[in-house]
Chain A
Amino acid sequence: MTIEEKLDLIAETLDAERSNIKPETKLCTLDEWDSMGVISTIAMLDRKFKKVLSAEQIEKLDTVQDILDKMEE
């Protein structure tokens, strides 16, 4: 997956405008980063990248880049 495709996937997962999703975007600035958004992200990472985040890892997610970092194939 290219970075662009990964960003597309993040936008789709969060049900957010693709133009708002850039690597440096701070998650707390997104309306869609509520508990459902976090859950959808956990679901996506598990389903597509076979990774279930721990509580600490969830806490540490600060920017879109942090999510990208978890999307290793």
Chain B
Amino acid sequence: MLISFSLPQTILTNEELEKEYDSPSWTASKIFRKTGIKSRHIAKNELASDLAVEAGKKLFAEHGISPSEIDFLLLCTQSPDYYLPTTACIVQDRLGIPTSAGAFDYNLGCSGYIYGLATAKGLLAAGIAKNVLLITAETYTKHIHPLDRSTRTVFGDGASATLLREEDIVKIGQFVLVTDGKGAQNLIVPTGAMANPRTEETAKENEDANGNIRSMDNIYMNGPEIYAFTLRGVPDLIEKTLIKNNTTMDQIDYVILHQANKLVLESLREKLEIPADKYCIDVEDIGNTVSSTIPIALRRSIDRNIPQVKRGNKILLAGFGVGYSLGATIITI
């Protein structure tokens, strides 16, 4: 499988956040200590479709692929250009993918890449497509209130493009997928869709108990509950994935989990007892790009010539978060 990625131009550093927040508890170094993040990219003027197109173009250029080869486009985003039409249709047109290709959006966050791999494997194995372009394109920062420190410090924007072909069917292992809608309210943009249309009322800003400011039109994340859910659910997810793939953690060469923030990743590494040299933590200059974290981390690990990520190695991938939605699989790169 071939992977490329694209990050928007604007960079937001902890120093800039420190100036904005002007509070002793939110200095640049404290933000870094709490999250492991020093900077993140922000899509100021770019839409998800723009990032998607950029990532697609980079994939074509970097790997010598022509858009005419693509016969299916999957686009994962929770910040589409429109409710309708499907953003994937717009991206198909802009990338010059043939009209004989299929395309659709799917609405997932941190688990999105795993579900994309599952869907792509299905399309390929069923002979529905031969060259699937899987794009994740996320611009959560557009949902974030600037004075909501709980989310502004952790999320970044970014897109990835992965090309999956028939030869990749055997390289993608078995999946364990988990869905738990009980967690729906813990990571949510409450308004703007059918449940709660936007009004003057919903736009009113409120301060929460931690001094974070947001309106109902902004994203809300219950950090502690999401963290606890992750500690409860992810070890079990990974254990089931190893069993389903008839393997053990010893036989896995590298682990790339959804790159939420350093604290979560460290906690999980400890719980799962994975040695640091085969565990990916890559958030410092990019933050949490939601469905893009896993493919971007994978590509950057390859670029950095990390020994555990060489051709033929087994990589365990696991995404988890908004929904709640979780998924994991093992790939051979």
Chain A contact residues, CB within 8 Å of chain B = 28, 31, 34-36, 38-40, 42-43, 46-47, 52-55, 58
User: Smallest CB–CB gap between B210 and chain A, Å?
Assistant: 4
Contacts of A43 in B (CB 8 A): 227, 231, 263, 267
- Contact, CB under 8 Å: B34 / A55: no
User: Smallest CB–CB gap between B148 and chain A, Å?
Assistant: 11
Q: What's the Cα separation between A69 and B307 when bound, in Å?
A: 45
Q: Tell me the nearest residue of chain A to B270, going by C-beta.
A: A47
Q: What's the Cα separation between A28 and B210 when bound, in Å?
A: 9
- Contact, CB under 8 Å: B25 / A42: no
B69 close to chain A: CB less than 8 A: no
User: Smallest CB–CB gap between A20 and chain B, Å?
Assistant: 14
Q: Name A's interface SS.
A: helix
Q: Name, among B209, B228, B263, the residue most crowded by chain A CB atoms within 10 Å (CB to CB).
A: B228
Q: A35-B223, A39-B227 are in contact. List 17 more A-B contacts (CB 8 A).
A: A35-B224, A36-B223, A38-B224, A39-B224, A42-B227, A42-B228, A43-B263, A43-B267, A46-B231, A46-B271, A47-B267, A47-B270, A52-B231, A52-B232, A53-B228, A55-B228, A58-B225
Q: Tell me the nearest residue of chain B to A35, going by C-beta.
A: B223
Q: What's the Cα separation between A40 and B261 when bound, in Å?
A: 13
Q: What's the Cα separation between A55 and B209 when bound, in Å?
A: 17
- Contact, CB under 8 Å: B225 / A55: yes
B86 close to chain A: CB less than 8 A: no
B150 close to chain A: CB less than 8 A: yes
Contacts of B34 in A (CB 8 A): 36
Contacts of A54 in B (CB 8 A): 228
Q: What's the Cα separation between A58 and B227 when bound, in Å?
A: 11
- Contact, CB under 8 Å: A42 / B271: no
State whether A58 and B224 are in contact (beta carbons under 8 Å apart), knowing that A31-B25, A35-B210, A36-B34 are contacts in the complex.
yes
Q: What's the Cα separation between A31 and B225 when bound, in Å?
A: 20
Q: What's the Cα separation between A59 and B25 when bound, in Å?
A: 23
- Contact, CB under 8 Å: A52 / B209: no
Contacts of B227 in A (CB 8 A): 39, 42-43
State whether A35 and B228 are in contact (beta carbons under 8 Å apart), knowing that A28-B209, A43-B263, A43-B267 are contacts in the complex.
no
Q: What's the Cα separation between A58 and B263 when bound, in Å?
A: 18
Q: What's the Cα separation between A47 and B228 when bound, in Å?
A: 12
Q: What's the Cα separation between A55 and B231 when bound, in Å?
A: 12
Q: Name, among B222, B223, B225, B271, the residue most crowded by chain A CB atoms within 10 Å (CB to CB).
A: B225
Contacts of B225 in A (CB 8 A): 55, 58
User: Smallest CB–CB gap between A49 and chain B, Å?
Assistant: 13
Q: What's the Cα separation between A43 and B227 when bound, in Å?
A: 9
